[in-house]
Chain A
Amino acid sequence: MGKELDGLGYLPLHIILSKLSPSDIIKVSCANKRLRGSASDESLWAQICYQELQLSTPQDDHGNPLPCFMLAYKLWRDAFSMYPWPLVKRVKRCWDKLKKWFNNNFPEAEATLRRGASESDIEQLQTVLKVKLPLPTRLLYRFHDGQELPDNPKTASSSWLGIIGGYSFYNHLVNVYLLPLHQVVAKTRYVIRYLGFSSRSKCVIVASSFAFSRKLFFLNCTNGQLFVGTRKLLTDSEMIPCVPNTLIRSVHDLYCEEQQDAMLLWLEEHGRRLENGIIKVRKEGDYRSINLFPEVPPLCVTTVTNGVQVRASAVFVPEFADLLDEAEKFTFAYSIRMSLLPEGCVINGMTFVSCQLNRRHWIIRADGEVVSSVDAEAVIGEYPLLHPGEGEFVYQSCTPLPSPSGSIEGHFTFVPG
């Protein structure tokens, strides 16, 4: 049949190859030299690099440019040969999505992402902390070794560049960073040594807040679950899981179809929320940061009354939780955003160009039971004056609840004019 192959010509061979996986193309190229020529076609590998790694120019995993796509693909495979390839592609997609969003919306934070950790960096952490990181987490660090942390967390604007973001209410300011491996080691050793935390728990600190208050995320390296510390973290090692246990599996299994650890699931979900505009960057004072209060329905509700628009959403505050406390087990923070629409305040056909908040009335329920009813003047001690078309007046507050689910409803009284 050698005769037929010569007649097969460039075109059909190219189409056949374009329908094959990279492994099959390599096997075809290993069959003989003529086939190797066709299988080395640059457009073929450009397509593969784009499909599998979303590369539009040939580059290695550190972003260094390369002369061709076939070499780029090979170097990527070599660089991650110790990992299941589908997982490599998934972790890359996760980072790509996050970085694309940050690039468009919050480039200052993207600039803090560190270069990927090496295999030996990871091995060193594992030796020092006597843990074995779940595969997805290992890979996440191979792409980026966390964030470059602020030099002076008390003052610097860089204290607000955490890619996980946070919230603020009263004097509680939270902004969570993804830690670089050397900080994972330092902080994990610190809590083990000084806080009586057990090293047998195989938990390492992977993310933490940096300014003013403590919110710590622990990855359990044995089962791949991610935990966040509560108010009783330091005294009782109390933590809450971040991802449903049922979603997590095979965190150390090299050969299974789909490894799922909480760290990757958590970052993928974070990326989804950012991409869909569920959470956004907000400027508070002089600083911009990722704000975890939801911005769109159903997690954010909007009501307009006589031209006054009020938007409201809430977040769970795990670092204030106290699972053994009966009445104040869970704390929720809520964010209220009020503004006057461009047409002004309209009451019975009369238009007013401004209005001022006078009172608030809140009914707070836990599992349907009223736990608090507040009817009083002002919000956080202020009487905001609203003008049409001005930016929102935003304030945050919080409430403890005995149950993990609850609601807050109520109304504001404004005085027109």
Chain B
Amino acid sequence: MSTTVPKKITLRTADNHEFEVDEAVAMELGTVKTFFDENPDATDEPIPLPNVSSKCLSTIIEYCKFHLSLRARGNDSSSAEEEGKVYDEELIKTHDNESLVELILAVNYLNIKDMLDTLNQGVADRIKNKSVEYVRRFFGIENDYTPEEEAEIRAQYEWAFEGVDPDDD
């Protein structure tokens, strides 16, 4: 164990909040790591993250801290793996559709591969077996097909539209 005080890095969000985190946590963010790799002489100035809100960043930092501590316990520990899964499930559960998409955008920008994968799985699970209308509402998008065009796709891919779950919202 190193006895020196761990280096701190300051991150500044789009809404101008500053987060001071351990270097190890900051290095979990691919975008930040790349910045330091490319600028080894960077000063202690806060790193601006113009595409990330403070709400998202605090969730992301919590996630990184938690998974770092799990990894520190060693990869062979199956209880760590199980705890990680429970944490990820809880993370998905506590976000509604809109905030989940917002979080994905932030994580995608920050390039945190594992977290992005977890969140994308969460989205996939939510639109799995759901209707086309549900998918539109989920992504907040307009239908830009003519009724004829849409009917044609549905007719062409009849097998895809069997056994759809109720939308439940």
A and B: partners?
yes
Chain A residues within CB distance 8 Å of chain B: 1-2, 4-5, 7-9, 11-12, 15-16, 19-24, 26-35, 74, 77, 81, 85
Question: A81 to chain B: which residues have CB within 8 Å?
Answer: 158-159
User: Would you give the 0/1 interface string for B141-169, flagging 1 where the beta carbon is closer than 8 Å to chain A?
Assistant: 11111000010011011111110100000
Given known contacts A1-B140, A9-B108, A30-B150, A20 and B124 CB-to-CB distance under 8 angstroms:
yes
Sample of 14 further A-B pairs with CB below 8 A, known A1-B139, A29-B153, A30-B145: A4-B101, A12-B120, A15-B117, A16-B123, A16-B124, A20-B124, A22-B160, A23-B161, A26-B157, A26-B161, A27-B161, A31-B141, A35-B139, A81-B159
Taking the nearest CB of chain B, how far is it from the CB of A352, in angstroms?
A: 57
User: What are 25 of the A-B contact pairs (CB < 8 Å)?
Assistant: A1-B101, A1-B139, A4-B102, A4-B139, A4-B140, A5-B139, A7-B51, A8-B108, A8-B139, A11-B108, A12-B116, A21-B128, A26-B160, A27-B127, A27-B164, A30-B135, A30-B153, A31-B141, A31-B143, A33-B144, A33-B145, A34-B141, A34-B144, A35-B135, A77-B157
Question: B143 to chain A: which residues have CB within 8 Å?
Answer: 31-32
Pick from A2, A16, A29: contact of B140, CB below 8 A: A2
Residues B101 and A8 in contact, CB atoms below 8 Å apart: yes
- In the complex, the chain A residue whose C-beta lies closest to that of B154 is A30
Given known contacts A4-B140, A19-B120, A81-B159, A30 and B127 CB-to-CB distance under 8 angstroms:
no
Taking the nearest CB of chain B, how far is it from the CB of A263, in angstroms?
A: 25
- In the complex, the chain A residue whose C-beta lies closest to that of B163 is A23
A interface majority secondary structure: helix
B54 on the interface (CB 8 Å rule)? no
Question: A19 to chain B: which residues have CB within 8 Å?
Answer: 120-121, 124
> How far apart sit A7 and B128, CA to CA, in the bound complex (Å)?
22
Pick from A8, A11, A32: contact of B136, CB below 8 A: A32
Question: A12 to chain B: which residues have CB within 8 Å?
Answer: 104-105, 108, 116, 120
- In the complex, the chain B residue whose C-beta lies closest to that of A80 is B159
B130 on the interface (CB 8 Å rule)? yes
Query: Which of B101, B159, B162 has the most chain A CB within a 10 Å cutoff?
Result: B159
Residues B108 and A35 in contact, CB atoms below 8 Å apart: no
- In the complex, the chain A residue whose C-beta lies closest to that of B142 is A32
Question: B154 to chain A: which residues have CB within 8 Å?
Answer: 30
Question: B105 to chain A: which residues have CB within 8 Å?
Answer: 4, 7-8, 12
B interface majority secondary structure: helix
Question: A4 to chain B: which residues have CB within 8 Å?
Answer: 98, 101-102, 105, 139-140
Taking the nearest CB of chain B, how far is it from the CB of A66, in angstroms?
A: 16
Question: B162 to chain A: which residues have CB within 8 Å?
Answer: 23
Given known contacts A9-B108, A11-B108, A30-B132, A20 and B127 CB-to-CB distance under 8 angstroms:
yes
B31 on the interface (CB 8 Å rule)? no
Question: A29 to chain B: which residues have CB within 8 Å?
Answer: 153
- In the complex, the chain B residue whose C-beta lies closest to that of A36 is B153
Given known contacts A16-B123, A19-B120, A27 and B160 CB-to-CB distance under 8 angstroms:
yes
Question: B120 to chain A: which residues have CB within 8 Å?
Answer: 12, 15-16, 19
Question: A16 to chain B: which residues have CB within 8 Å?
Answer: 120, 123-124
Taking the nearest CB of chain A, how far is it from the CB of B110, in angstroms?
A: 12
> How far apart sit A26 and B131, CA to CA, in the bound complex (Å)?
11
Taking the nearest CB of chain B, how far is it from the CB of A47, in angstroms?
A: 14
Question: B141 to chain A: which residues have CB within 8 Å?
Answer: 1-2, 5, 31-32, 34-35
Q: Which 6 A-B pairs have the closest CB atoms?
A: A1-B140, A26-B160, A19-B124, A23-B160, A31-B135, A15-B120
Pick from A11, A15, A27, A32: contact of B131, CB below 8 A: A27
Residues B129 and A24 in contact, CB atoms below 8 Å apart: yes
> How far apart sit A19 and B118, CA to CA, in the bound complex (Å)?
11
Taking the nearest CB of chain A, how far is it from the CB of B70, in angstroms?
A: 22
- In the complex, the chain A residue whose C-beta lies closest to that of B156 is A74
Question: B157 to chain A: which residues have CB within 8 Å?
Answer: 26, 30, 74, 77
> How far apart sit A320 and B85, CA to CA, in the bound complex (Å)?
60
- In the complex, the chain A residue whose C-beta lies closest to that of B124 is A19
Taking the nearest CB of chain B, how far is it from the CB of A139, in angstroms?
A: 16
Question: A28 to chain B: which residues have CB within 8 Å?
Answer: 127, 135
> How far apart sit A28 and B145, CA to CA, in the bound complex (Å)?
13
Question: A33 to chain B: which residues have CB within 8 Å?
Answer: 144-145
Question: B101 to chain A: which residues have CB within 8 Å?
Answer: 1, 4-5, 8
Question: B117 to chain A: which residues have CB within 8 Å?
Answer: 15
> How far apart sit A376 and B102, CA to CA, in the bound complex (Å)?
88
Taking the nearest CB of chain B, how far is it from the CB of A275, in angstroms?
A: 31
- In the complex, the chain A residue whose C-beta lies closest to that of B140 is A1
Taking the nearest CB of chain B, how far is it from the CB of A254, in angstroms?
A: 12
Taking the nearest CB of chain A, how far is it from the CB of B161, in angstroms?
A: 7
Taking the nearest CB of chain A, how far is it from the CB of B15, in angstroms?
A: 16
> How far apart sit A26 and B154, CA to CA, in the bound complex (Å)?
9
Taking the nearest CB of chain A, how far is it from the CB of B113, in angstroms?
A: 10
